[in-house]
């Protein structure tokens, strides 16, 4: 699933970490992407930018998708009404 560009991009600076550099990812962002300190990430680069994607266990991903589907089924109409602008 492609993610649209952020309307308000977050600007971060690298921090020295021993002989390397690190970037701190704020807790709300980690929660949004369901990542923890132990989550492995796939890193892709085109030479100009990096894309970090959490690597998910297939069973974990299936549970999450099933839970989202159940919420949509049970509460989809209510959520749609809440989202309508009057």
Tell me: the pLDDT tens digits for 35-57? 998 999 999 999 999 999 999 88
Residue 6 has pLDDT above 90, yes or no: no
Q: Give the residue among 46, 65, 7, 54 at the shortest CA–CA distance from 29.
A: 54
For the chain, the domains span 13-55, 56-86
Residue 17 has pLDDT above 60, yes or no: yes
CATH code reported for the domain at 13-55:
2.10.260
pTM for this predicted structure? 0.56
């Amino acid at each position: 699933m492609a993610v649209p560009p952020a309307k308000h991009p977050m600007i971060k600076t690298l921090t020295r970490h021993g002989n390397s550099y690190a970037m701190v990812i704020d807790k709300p962002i980690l929660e949004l992407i369901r990542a923890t300190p132990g989550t492995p990430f796939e890193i892709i680069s085109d030479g100009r930018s990096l894309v970090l994607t959490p690597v998910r266990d297939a069973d974990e991903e299936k549970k999450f998708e099933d839970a989202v589907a159940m919420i949509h089924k049970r509460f989809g109409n209510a959520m749609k009404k809440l989202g309508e602008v009057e």
